[in-house]
Amino acid sequence: MSTGPGPVSETLGADELLDRLDTLADLLVDTVAGGASVGFLYPLDRTAALAWWRAQAGAVRAGELAVRICRDGERVLGTVAVAYADKPNARHRAEIRKLMVHRDARGRGLGRALLADAETAAAEAGITLLLLDTETDSPAETLYRSAGWTVLGVVPGHAEDPGGTLRPTTFFYKGLGAVLSTAAGTGTGSCSAR
């Protein structure tokens, strides 16, 4: 960790995402190695992680995906994405995707801060309903419950964990309402716990 002012959060444009491919791939590989169910199996090849992140740049450029990071210097400690719906009747909703925090940066509130930033940025973009899913009984599920998300339901055997075992998935939603926090959003700020 740097001795500077501490971790900084920011939303990446497509070019910034491409500039940070190496450290984003490191984060994804570490997240999967740590057992988090984020759509990949262990071991995740670094080349595959680089390719996955590279593929996200088009969606960011098109405004379909907003990627927010928490970084310390040039190193990405965590990330979260907001995927906007592509149907005309769904412009009010979005999905939280790929909330990840590097294993050596966990326990400092970075995941909670990134989630709050994503919620605020979505509300500022006119989103009133957020959705997400996560592995049942995971630390992520505990975070979402404590952050005021409502359980929609559990689907047994929905996805494989990184080890290849079918696990249940808990689906959540959260209404954003009209109140926006000025402490977070789409600019650059601190990603320390609130």
Q: Does residue 189 have a pLDDT over 90?
A: no
Q: Does residue 143 have a pLDDT over 60?
A: yes
Amino acid sitting at position 97 = R
177 — pLDDT class (breaks 50, 70, 90): confident
Model pLDDT for residues 54-94, shown as the tens digit of each residue:
999 999 999 999 999 999 999 999 999 999 999 999 999 99
Q: How far apart are CA 95 and CA 83, in angstroms?
A: 5
Q: How far apart are CA 10 and CA 187, in angstroms?
A: 6
Q: Does residue 187 have a pLDDT over 80?
A: no
For the chain, list the strands marked E by DSSP. 8-12, 65-72, 75-84, 93-101, 129-135, 150-160, 166-175, 189-190
119 — pLDDT class (breaks 50, 70, 90): very high
